[in-house]
Each structure stands twice: as C-alpha cells, then as structure tokens.
Amino acid sequence: MNPFLCFVLQAWNPSSCQVSSMETSRFLRDYAVWEINAFLWISLITITYFLSYKLFKLFKLWNQACKIPGPPSPSFYGYFTTLSKQNLTEVLSDSHEEYGSIVKLWLSPKQLLVSIKEPEIIKEMLLKAKDKLPLTGKAFNLAFGRSTLFASSFDKVESRRESLASELNVRLLDRANLIATKAVDHIMAELHQNMTKGSINCKMTSQHMAFTLLGATIFGDTFLAWLKSTIYEELLMMVAKDACFWASYSVIPFWKQGFWRYRRLCTELKWLTQDLVQQCSKYRQYRHMEPSANLGMEAGVFLQDNISLQEINGRHNVRDESCGNIMSLLFHGCLTTGGLINNMLMRLVTHPEIQHKIYSEIIMAKKGSEDKAQPVVEKMPLLWATIYESARVMPAGPLLQRCSLKHDLRLKSGVIVPAGAILVVPMQLVQTDDSSWGNDAGKFNPYRFLSKTEKTSASPNMDASIAELKDQRKCTFVLKDPNKNPAFLPFGSGARACVGQKFVTQGVATLFASLLEQYEVRLRSGSKTNSKPSTNYSMSQDFLSSELVFARRNN
C-alpha cells in the first residue's frame, strides 16, 4: 500500500497518537524514497522512449538512405572532414559520374545529403520540397533579426513572398526602367568621380552598383539622398560575412567577446535601417504621398500601407519584422546582383567583340526610339542574352538547397528522400552540363540564348520580353526564353524560387545599357587575370577582383 495512504489511515486511529517520532521520521524517509523512485522510473521511461524514438528515426534514415545510390562513407564521421579539404562540387561531380543523377553523401552518421543533377527531377524536387535548411534561417535571424522572407519553414514565408512578388513584378515592373535609370544616373555620377583616380576594383564597384540599385528600388529618392548609405553598405557586408559562423554554434557562445562585438554591429545596422525607414516616412508625410507613390516601393510592402511614423515607433513587432525583411533582402540582393554585375563586367572585358556588338545594339535601339533619354532595353537581345549567359556560367552560389522538414519526399522516379535530409542541386554541374547545353557548355557564349531569323519584322509569336537586333549583315536575332530550359536555374525554381528575377534582370539591363553607351570597359594594363576564365568549379578570385578602366566614349 502507498505509505502516504497508510499514514493517513493511522492518523484516524486514536491509538496512533502514541506513534513515536521515530516512526514518523521513518515514514517520511520511506515516503521520500518512494517519491524519488517514482520520479526516476518516470524519467527512465521518458528517456528510453525518447532515445528509442531517435534510434528508430536513425534506423529509418539509414534504411531509406540504403536505397539511394552513392559512395560509401569514408569514415564513421562521413564526408564532413573530407569536405573541408575538397570542394563539394568536385566530390558531387565524381559521385554523379559514377552513380547517376541522384546520389547520396553521408556528412555525418545523422546528416544525409542528397544531390540531384537531372533537370526534370530537379524541377519536381524544387516544387515539392518547400523548406530551406534550418541553418540558413538561423544565420539570417542572428544577423538581421526576425524575417518573414528568408525563414527556413515555407509556412512562415509564404504570404510575405506573395506580397513582395506582386509589389516587384506587378506594381513596380512598369516603372522598373525609371527606377533603374534614376539609380543608374546616380551610379554614373559616382563613376565619373572615381575614374579620376585611375582604375577601379571590379568586385567592390559591382557590389556598390547593386547596393545603389536595390536601395533606390526599396526606398526611392530618399535612399539616393541619404548621407549614411556608405557606412550602411559597409556595416551590412560586415554583419553578413560572419553570420553563418556565429549561427553554426548550437549554443549561443555568450562567453566569447567576438560574439558580443558581432551583436553590437547587428544592433547598429538595425538602428541605421530604422533611421532610413523614418527618413522615408517623413518624406512621404512631407510630400503627402501614398506608399510606393515615389520612385521606389518606399518600403511600403514592408511597412504595410497607411502606417504612420508614430505607429511605426509604437509597434515594435511590425518594426522589427520589417527591419529584418529589409536588411535580409538588401543583403541577398546585393550579394547576388553584385555577383552578376561583377561577372558580366569581367565577361565583357575578356570578350571585347561582344561588348562592341552590344554597343552597336544600344546605338541602334536608341536611334529607333522616340524617348532618347530612356534606354529601350527590350530592343537589345544580345544584352539580355549576355545577362543570362553570365548567370548561367557563374551562378550566385554553388548549390540550391532545400529540405523537407516534416515529411519524406517521394519523387516520381520512385526514390524516397527521408524527412530532414539536405537536398541540393549542384548549380555549376547542372548549368554547364553538355547534355543540356551542348558541346560548348563550358564556354561563355551568349548566342546560345538567341535564335537567328531572316525576317526583319517582329514575329507574332514573340513574348513581351523578346526583342530583335539587326546586325551589320542585316540578320535578326530573337531572344529565347531562358526559363524554357529546365537546366537554367540561377534564380532557382519552384516553391522557393527568387521573386526578384524579373525585376533584377530589368535593372541590370538598364544599368549596362547606360554604362556601355557612355564607356568602354577594359582591363587595366598589367592587371592580373585569366584572359578567358574557364568554368571550373572553384571560381578564380583573380578573375573576380580585377582592376578595370572605364574609358569614356566620344558619342
């Protein structure tokens, strides 16, 4: 019988008054022992259940993973140690060659990576797997605070993605030319100034151009007039650089001074973002404007329409989330757009014949246009083809990554990828694969995105973005839709595809139309670079950070 129950029954018995104090203390000791035993048993059962569940999941993972082809693990710790010495894309390239279009790689006994190289299966996977790796969301969260655009779970980002996509692709696209032209004028003025110093660094300049283009898009004129933009750009890049490192700690490293220094930088960045948002709101109130009535979106999509400055100051949740979204978007946009601009500049200096043809195209398009001040980028197919080809040969990142956090992923081919496994698409392998791109897949050739036609008038089948060019031989080139090739993935695809694709390509086209009309871009003599960079899997840093000269044209 329960000792506590015995004690209560004895308490009803009058003779129990003579129970000695010794018996009472023995009873209390027994009772304590009983309670401790019960607690230990419950803990043991819970821990055993928890461990068995984990073990069951591990066996299930191993069992499901056995059916996916791939190289055996080099050690108990998987490929993790090997990958620090060898490039992951090279390892995946060898594995795909040996094991086919879907391969697995053990990163650790619990961490399975599945790589897919076949374009049709990739499309299917990118549609079905809607979550991103938890580490990515954690890094964004640590650096920029709560964000509803780059979180790992799809449920958290779905609605904000939609509102941003409609803002960028519906409301702003009509005015994308105008926004880019304003930003480009600003960039060109800075470029004129910098050229007095001689050459400029390609990588830094590209990043700055991307930052200005995006800032003007989100904040409009206010951004272009904002005095703190230079310090903001530096701080944004500093914060972004170390985000993954600090996020990789599973416990916050509060004992490290470096971590607190990093947190201070993050706070400073947030204050600056708030300052910029407030400048925008003041400007809007002063001009009695609707959000987005100015050139850019005036942070309207983030701040939600009709929120006044006082409200913004009072509603911390709205402000924190909006700031997180603005900072993460600026970071993602700057890094990717800067990379694309950098890559394009370098391709143009190493392929002067293409630069020359784009210049002829710009002059011809301008001659046929009524508005001489606005570059008519729709009439420049070679320029668009160069953008797509640059994005193809050197994508913004080596991998597209996804995961399905809750459910196993069943592919039509019969392969089942267990929940929680890391799914990756090796971008350089897919985008330079001979079977999708032909024998010259490794070469930079923008003409692969153009088809020749003898007709000089526009075909009725052309879509809006398709334009035509008459070159010296009077033949016409028509731009193909790059997204028709399932192996074209610089902006991803499926549920988490980039929402900025249309907008950013329009902006970059406007930027280069103005830039190449006014300048011929050359490598500074003596600047070190491969004259024809190859698309090997490790990008050449020499190639990416060369010194350039912008020589003014005599138009």
Nearest to 383 by CA among 227, 261, 499, 505: 505
Is 105 or 341 the residue whose CB approaches ligand HEM more closely? 341
Task: Output the six-digit token pair for 396.
Answer: 């913004």
The partner residues of 452 in beta bridges, in order of sequence, read 477
Quick check: 330 binds ligand HEM (CB under 6 A)?
no
Q: How far is the CB of 203 from ligand HEM (least distance, A)?
A: 15
**Site residues (CB under 6 A) for ligand HEM, limited to 363-422:** 396, 400
From 490, 514, 521, 523, residue interacting with ligand HEM (rule: CB under 6 A) = 490
Contacts with ligand HEM, 106-135, as mask; x by CB under 6 A: --------------------x-----x---
Which among 140-148, 326-334, 355-363, 529-537 is the span making contact with ligand HEM, rule CB under 6 A? 326-334
Q: How far is the CB of 32 from ligand HEM (least distance, A)?
A: 54
Q: How many angstroms separate the CA atoms of 395 and 339, rounded?
A: 8
Instruction: Name the helix (H) or strand (E) containing 61.
Output: helix 21-66
Quick check: 309 binds ligand HEM (CB under 6 A)?
no
Q: How far is the CB of 136 from ligand HEM (least distance, A)?
A: 8
**Site residues (CB under 6 A) for ligand HEM, limited to 159-188:** 161, 164, 168
Task: Give the chain's count of helices (H) and strands (E).
Answer: 21, 12
Q: Are strands 102-108 and 399-403 parallel, antiparallel or unpaired?
A: unpaired
Sequential DSSP letters for 151-183: -SSHHHHHHHHHHHHHIIIIITGGGHHHHHHHH
Quick check: 240 binds ligand HEM (CB under 6 A)?
no
From 322, 337, 404, 432, residue interacting with ligand HEM (rule: CB under 6 A) = 337
From 144, 150, 211, 246, residue interacting with ligand HEM (rule: CB under 6 A) = 150
Q: Are 417 and 114 in contact (CB under 8 A)?
A: yes
Which among 115-123, 441-449, 493-501, 546-554 is the span making contact with ligand HEM, rule CB under 6 A? 493-501
From 497, 535, 537, 539, residue interacting with ligand HEM (rule: CB under 6 A) = 497
Q: Angle at which helices 316-350 and 134-144 pack, to 10 degrees? A: 110
Cβ neighbours of 6 (radius 10 Å): 13
From 64, 115, 336, 432, residue interacting with ligand HEM (rule: CB under 6 A) = 336
Beta strands in 161-292 (DSSP E): 200-201
Q: Are strands 468-470 and 450-453 parallel, antiparallel or unpaired?
A: unpaired
Q: Angle at which helices 134-144 and 229-247 pack, to 10 degrees? A: 140
Q: Are 493 and 423 in contact (CB under 8 A)?
A: no
Q: How far is the CB of 426 from ligand HEM (least distance, A)?
A: 13
From 116, 157, 365, 450, residue interacting with ligand HEM (rule: CB under 6 A) = 157
Is 169 or 527 the residue whose CB approaches ligand HEM more closely? 169
Cβ neighbours of 155 (radius 10 Å): 10
Q: How far is the CB of 498 from ligand HEM (least distance, A)?
A: 3
Is 307 or 334 the residue whose CB approaches ligand HEM more closely? 334
Q: How many angstroms separate the CA atoms of 17 and 99, rounded?
A: 83
Q: How many angstroms separate the CA atoms of 452 and 474, rounded?
A: 11
Q: Which residue has the tokens 């329960």?
A: 2
Contacts with ligand HEM, 268-307, as mask; x by CB under 6 A: ----------------------------------------
From 345, 450, 499, 509, residue interacting with ligand HEM (rule: CB under 6 A) = 499
Residue type, 173: L
Quick check: 207 binds ligand HEM (CB under 6 A)?
no
From 493, 506, 510, 546, residue interacting with ligand HEM (rule: CB under 6 A) = 493
Task: Output the six-digit token pair for 78.
Answer: 């998987």
323 annotated as a binding-site residue: no
Q: Are 534 and 394 in contact (CB under 8 A)?
A: no
From 327, 415, 504, 516, residue interacting with ligand HEM (rule: CB under 6 A) = 504
Q: ∠ at Cα 285 (301, 312), nearest 5°?
A: 55
Is 7 or 537 the residue whose CB approaches ligand HEM more closely? 537
CB burial readout 459-485, b (16+ within 10 A) else e: eeeeeebbbbbeeeeeebbbbbebeeb
Task: Output the six-digit token pair for 237.
Answer: 């890049």
From 329, 383, 415, 544, residue interacting with ligand HEM (rule: CB under 6 A) = 329
Which among 43-51, 109-117, 329-337, 541-549 is the span making contact with ligand HEM, rule CB under 6 A? 329-337
Q: Which residue is nearest to ligand HEM (CB)?
A: 492
Size of site (CB under 6 A) for ligand HEM: 28
Task: Note the residues at the interface with ligand HEM (CB under 6 A).
Answer: 126, 132, 149-150, 157, 161, 164, 168, 214, 329, 332-333, 336-337, 340, 396, 400, 490-494, 496-500, 504
- Known binding residues for heme are 498
